[in-house]
Structure 1
Amino acid sequence: MSRWRIGEHTSVGATNENRQITYTDTCWQLAFQHDSAGNELQGSLNMLRSAVKRGNRVKLLIGNTSVVPEHVSVRGGHINAMIISKVLKANSNIKEFDSTGVWDWSMVTTTGTQTTLKLRVGEATETADSRVITATEVTWFIDTRPWRKVLAHDKFGTVTSGSKVALRDAVKLGARVRYIMRFDESDSIEVQEADNISINGADIGATHVRSVSLEPTPGSTADRRFQNNPYWWFTIAATTGSVDMSRWTVGEHTNRGHSSQTANIEWFVNC
């Protein structure tokens, strides 16, 4: 266990203890495995891409690390996965955090490209080896739980399939919610899972707070990378078609802007 003060790069101690652990999450299947150049080894990119568009969750095996990304997008026919749930570990040690307190973030793409960003916890300061681009072999899995599309609407909130009542009722029954946003007429999509959900009559608003700012990688239509001086990208997607966005610098209480857009959104539930 590694503890750091919120909003500061100040350690408040580390401890180690042993506990009995049971592993139960077995509902995954291999969808696509590629080499470091993005060449197919098993499965297919089409299978993975189709599953993402059906609302399925994604898990990656990168080397000896298995991780579920916080944010998935489709760009130029390829899948981008944002991984920001990692803190740097001690060298070659599966049991201990590195004592310096560093976020160890990655953007992974089915082209074989992995781009890292390392920031000191509680600060906007990058480490000396922060931004590294590597060609990486990755295995992509999809979960086999049934995700049902219960609602689709245009950017004005006009229902094109399903119903808002079906989504609202699923939420009231405790369903997990994932949604796909299309901001333009291209095939690019953003896929998120709701961190919390509010209900207002027949409409709902899904809040997602686990994404940071990205930009296109120069020379590529598919790859994305972390921006310099990145910001948290908080969103509220609503069944009215609106997507509200609040941006705050990573490691600082610095407002980077607030805006609203509209999007075509598809809503999926798992229950």
Structure 2
Amino acid sequence: MTKVWNMMQKIKGKGSKSSVHHLKDGFNMITNKSDIAIVDCGFPPHQDGAKVDYTSTTFNAKANYLCVKGYSSLGTGKAVCLSNGTWSEIDLVCSVSCHSSWQQVATTTASTTPIHQRYALRNRISKTCKPTVRVKADFSSWSRAAYISLYGVKMYSGIWGMTVRGLTKLSWDSFETSPQREYELFVSDGKSSYMFMNDSGNETISTMHLNITWFVKNDQCISTSHSSDTGSVLTSLSEGEFDPFFDTYHVDDRNNTVCGQRTVDVSHEEYERLAFYPPPYWFIHKDCTSGRQHVLRWRLTGEFMNTEPRNCSMSWCPDTCWHHVFDTKASPTNNEKHIRHLFRGVQYGHNIMLKVAHVIAKAREVILFDGHVTVGVKEFWLPADKDAFSSGSLQAWMIASTSGRVVQCTHFPESPHVKEIKEEEKYSAWFLDSRQWDKVLSTDDTGTVLSGSKSTLLSNVNEGRSLRVGVLHTNGVYKALEVDTVDVSRNGQIAANIIHNVDLVIGRGNNVRFTDTCRMVSSIITTEGSYKIYTYNIGAGGNHSIVTGVAKIEWFVEL
């Protein structure tokens, strides 16, 4: 494998030199000239839900397994390197305790929602600590399952929700020639409003009636704590307990205030008509433990609109299903073990959360390459270390590596202009998701099934479940991506839509960097094996391309 995993150990006998032979995914047999064999079992096998500690991998060495936070344990967790170059069977079972379930709460017809379903949906949302909500809408030629980024309860019309922004599509698996940004607003009585907007800020708004299915997640990982005390929030964050309602968190230099940021998306009228209204603008919330909320509004043409400070205590619903893996300031020996734990965890479908200096965020994409893990986090807004926005606020994207390398791109809003791309060595803390993710399908680049089944994936999509996609490239790069929306064709093929990543250039020596213009990328990955992207700059157009050199596409479902 990579340099990190291919550990070379030179063992010298009396008056002779040793030679090292590497055996793939097995053990290393080390021999000297007098043919005296020293057995090396290689790395202890990975067990999902467990960390492993060891000081040696040679004959009679011991490995100690311990279930991580979010898993219950049964057994001793001991393994021994045997004389045949393999590890003994691990006497440990780690059972996931971070369970979640999805419930279909309401089904909307094209004209109304049954009154009991409307109340059931409203009760589930109002009585749950910031629940995750999804909808599945049926269109004429395909259906779409979408994550709701913002939702609310309206007295007489039931529930409304807005999806994350996307790009308009020509079909279920391809973008339009010149795609526009697309925003969707669903109402539980079957109404759906759409806003399409080009780079010039010209918008088109339409309304239709659809059959919509509403799902609410019963997430046992989400604590019901609502404390907004800075000390308790800092304690939770230090243990990886990140409130999923926010995209990023920021801690001031003196640890006096914690602020959570989220992009709430585009303007709409939620009290009367429940519809989009022009001229469109989008807005960002920053909620702070100081008891202040700041709202930043920008026109979609790039024009600053206003900021609005409010008094609003930040409620806190921590996600307890993350475990700390390592810090970049740890010793190199420990780093090697812990990076491997991250590496394997991502290959099992888990996501990463990262703390870099005063920024805390969940990864949007994870890249495994050249012995290191690199993550890109969702955009956040500067100033990050103050509890206020201004007309001079900037967009920022960050990538960080287990090597300690951090690169940040600072960008002028709604424009193709980059202010700065800065690279530094910074301390970072790394956390791994403790939920259970099952790989239900693996295909090659032609859609040929390598393992699992498309029907199993489809049934999970129809239940509203969360998806992640892992792509193994022929050059050894493995990329894991968060899925925003899922489209299903009439013949049962599935397209995962990954929205609003930033264009990265991947090179050897852990050289992952932004492009000079920090271009944005939207992707479509399908069960037919295709991987299409649209790369663009706001205000400067974009281009289509097809990703080649794909060896395998893996589909993971959160259980």
TM over 0.5: yes
Match of 2:544 in 1: 258
Contact 1:38 1:110 in 2 (8 A): no
Q: Give the root-mean-square deviation of aligned CA atoms.
A: 2.1
1-structure distance, mates of 2:352, 2:382: 22
TM alignment of 1:144-163, pairs within 5 A:
144-163=434-453
Name the stretch that deviates more: 149-158 or 98-107. Answer: 98-107
Match of 1:117 in 2: 409
Match of 1:226 in 2: 514
The 1:117/1:29 distance shift into structure 2, 3 A limit, reads same
Task: Give the match's secondary structure for 1:132.
Answer: strand
1:107, distance to aligned residue in structure 2 (A): 1.3
Task: Give the match's secondary structure for 2:523.
Answer: strand
Query: Which of the residues 154, 158, 164 maps onto 2:454?
Result: 164
Match of 1:194 in 2: 483
Name the stretch that deviates more: 227-236 or 160-169. Answer: 227-236
Contact 2:493 2:528 in 1 (8 A): yes
Question: Aligned pairs, how many?
Answer: 261
1:226-271 CA-partner distances (Å, limit 9, x unpaired): 111232111100001001111112x32412x212235320000013
Query: Which of the residues 50, 61, 84 maps onto 2:355?
Result: 61
1-structure distance, mates of 2:318, 2:486: 26
Contact 1:37 1:111 in 2 (8 A): no
The 1:101/1:39 distance shift into structure 2, 3 A limit, reads farther
The 1:160/1:41 distance shift into structure 2, 3 A limit, reads closer
2-structure distance, mates of 1:227, 1:2: 27
1:68-114 CA-partner distances (Å, limit 9, x unpaired): 12111112121111123211126x42x22244121122111111100
1:207 is aligned to 2:497: yes
The 1:64/1:132 distance shift into structure 2, 3 A limit, reads same
Q: TM-score normalized by structure 1?
A: 0.89
Query: Which of the residues 365, 376, 383 maps onto 1:89?
Result: 383
Query: Which of the residues 170, 176, 189 maps onto 2:466?
Result: 176
1-structure distance, mates of 2:315, 2:486: 30
Contact 1:37 1:112 in 2 (8 A): no
Task: Give the match's secondary structure for 1:69.
Answer: strand
AA at the equivalent of 1:57: N
AA at the equivalent of 1:115: V
Contact 1:36 1:112 in 2 (8 A): no
Contact 1:70 1:82 in 2 (8 A): yes
Query: Which of the residues 307, 319, 324 maps onto 1:14?
Result: 307
2-structure distance, mates of 1:210, 1:134: 24
Match of 1:268 in 2: 556
Task: Give the match's secondary structure for 1:80.
Answer: strand
Identical-pair percentage: 24
The 1:40/1:223 distance shift into structure 2, 3 A limit, reads farther
Contact 2:447 2:527 in 1 (8 A): yes
1:126, distance to aligned residue in structure 2 (A): 2.1
TM alignment of 1:33-72, pairs within 5 A:
33-35=327-329, 40=334, 44-72=338-366
1:20, distance to aligned residue in structure 2 (A): 4.4
Task: Give the match's secondary structure for 2:494.
Answer: strand
The 1:215/1:178 distance shift into structure 2, 3 A limit, reads same
AA at the equivalent of 1:193: E
Question: Which runs of 4 or more aligned residues in structure 1 lie more than 4 Å from their structure 2 counterparts after TM superposition?
Answer: 36-43
1:100 is aligned to 2:392: yes
Query: Which of the residues 320, 325, 335 maps onto 1:26?
Result: 320
1:213, distance to aligned residue in structure 2 (A): 1.1
2-structure distance, mates of 1:15, 1:36: 42
The 1:210/1:232 distance shift into structure 2, 3 A limit, reads same
Where in structure 2 are there 5+ consecutive unaligned residues? 1-294
Contact 1:36 1:137 in 2 (8 A): no
1-structure distance, mates of 2:373, 2:539: 30
1:170, distance to aligned residue in structure 2 (A): 0.3
AA at the equivalent of 1:26: T
1:188-220 CA-partner distances (Å, limit 9, x unpaired): 111111110011233200010121111246xx5
Task: Give the match's secondary structure for 2:380.
Answer: coil
Where in structure 1 are there 5+ consecutive unaligned residues? none
2-structure distance, mates of 1:113, 1:270: 30
Match of 1:240 in 2: 528
AA at the equivalent of 1:77: G
Contact 2:307 2:390 in 1 (8 A): no
Task: Give the match's secondary structure for 2:374.
Answer: strand
2-structure distance, mates of 1:37, 1:100: 40
1:157-184 CA-partner distances (Å, limit 9, x unpaired): 1111110000000010011000101231
